[in-house]
Amino acid sequence: MCDNCGCDHGPDGVTITVAGVTRRAGKDGQSAGPRWEGGGAEAEGSGDPGRRLLVEKEVLGQNNAQAAHNREHFRRHNILALNLVSSPGSGKTTILEQTILRLAGSLPVAVIEGDQQTVLDAQRIEKTGVPVAQVNTGAGCHLDASMIHRALHRLEPPPNSLLFIENVGNLVCPAVFDLGEEAKVVIISVTEGEDKPLKYPAMFAAAKLCLINKIDLLPYVDFDLEKCRQYARRANPDLQFCSLSARSGEGMDTWLAAIRSLMPAAR
C-alpha cells in the first residue's frame, strides 16, 4: 500500500492553512506566510523526497487511537463529520460548494480540505463564507487522524455543526485510514466508468453512502447506473446511493436529506 506510493507520515511534509496563516503540522507551529499565499506545502517544502514509511499494524494502530479521540470529540459536541473520498476529477469540491450554499442558514458548517499541494480548493470553499482549513500532505496520498486533530484545533467547529472533510483524491489509502468521521461518502462520476467499484472494492466496502455525480452527462457517455450500483453492492450490500448533478442541481435534495438524517439530533 503506502510503502511504494510516496506517503510521508512525519510532520515535515504537512502544512495546515487557515485563512491568514500557514503553519507546519509539527511541534514548532511557526507562522509561514500571509493569507493563502505560497500554496501551503509548496512554501514549506515537502521534506526528504526519498523518505518512505511502511504502513504496518503499529501505524494503523496509532492512527486508530487518534481517530477514536477525534470521534469522541465529535460526539461530545454533536458534530457530524463526513469524509468525502473520490478519485481526482469526480467533482467533490463542486458538490461541496453547492451543498454549503443550499445549507446556508440551516446549521453551522466547517470544512477541512486535503490536497498534496496548493490551497486552490480552500480558496473556493472560503468564498461560500464558511470556515475552512487546508491540509497539504506533501508527498502523502491521504489524510490521517492526526492531521484532522491538528486542523480541528485551528478550525474549532462549534457544537451542533456539520464538518466536511474533503480527502486527497485517491480511492486506495483513504479506505483504511479512519479519521473519526461518522461516515465515508465515496463519490464517483459518470465519466469514470461504472466499473470503478470493481477496481477499488475496499473503498466502497468502507463507505456508507455513494454519490454518483455528473448525471447531466449521461446522454453523452457510456455509463450504466444500475450496473454501477450492482458492482458496488458486491463490495457493500448496505451501501446507499444518491445520483446527482452538482451543476444542474438534480438529486441535490436527496443528498441534503441524507445529511440531515445523519445529524446527531436525527439519530
Q: Give the CA angle between residues 99, 109, 260 to the nearest 5°.
A: 60
- Do 134 and 109 meet the contact criterion of CB atoms below 8 Å apart? no
The whole model's pTM is what?
0.83
C-alpha cell of residue 71: 470521534
Neighbour tally for 3: CB within 10 Å:
11
Q: Per-residue pLDDT averaged across 253-260, rounded?
A: 97
Number of C-alpha atoms within 13 angstroms, CB side, residue 254?
Answer: 15
The candidate with the shortest Cα–Cα distance to 180, out of 157, 210, 214, is 157
pLDDT at 114: 97
180: pLDDT strictly greater than 60: yes
Q: How confident is the model at residue 51 (pLDDT cuts 50, 70, 90)?
A: very low
- pLDDT tens for 90-146 read 999 999 999 999 999 899 999 999 999 999 999 999 999 999 999 999 989 999 999
Superfamily of structural domain 2-10+53-262: P-loop containing nucleotide triphosphate hydrolases (3.40.50.300)
Quote the percentage of the chain above a pLDDT of 70.
Answer: 81
Per the prediction, the chain carries an average pLDDT of 86
> What are the domain boundaries of the chain?
2-10+53-262
